[in-house]
Structure 1
């Protein structure tokens, strides 16, 4: 069953971020801002229409081991990644 990014999450500490609704010129800044706002133990569930591999490298370079990434869905047109803040 595919993940529906339009549905709010019920898990405490998990926050949805649907990048498809953010203007492209603001996306990376918005994503970095959202990740910076998370507290340890919180997760941002990121939804996008394409696999943002360059962005993932930038996040890894910037946050290091503080953020753990896990794909929830890697279907064409529906990429869902959980970003968990560990420290």
Structure 2
């Protein structure tokens, strides 16, 4: 897998959004990143990721609105 990859969450059917992000995150090796683009702050996803995967990643806002939220999630 590439060191970084991007996922436009707005193109995913709502019921599959979190499972798709989790799947992509699980495919990452240590040090690799997933950048997600969303039309709202995905903060609830952060808490779900911590609850289900633990504190094994960094969550870095690249952009915080008003139209786009871009978050780089890097697996430790």
TM-score (structure 1 length as normaliser): 0.81
Structure with max Cα Rg: 1
Structure 2: any 5+ residue segments left out of the alignment?
Answer: none
How many aligned residue pairs are there?
A: 75
Q: Deviations over 1:34-82 (max 9, x none)?
A: 1001111100011100001211110111122211101000012200000
TM-score (structure 2 length as normaliser): 0.92
Runs of 4+ with >3 A deviation: none
Root-mean-square deviation (Å): 1.0
Structure 1: any 5+ residue segments left out of the alignment?
Answer: 1-11
Q: Which residue of 1 aligns with 2:22?
A: 32
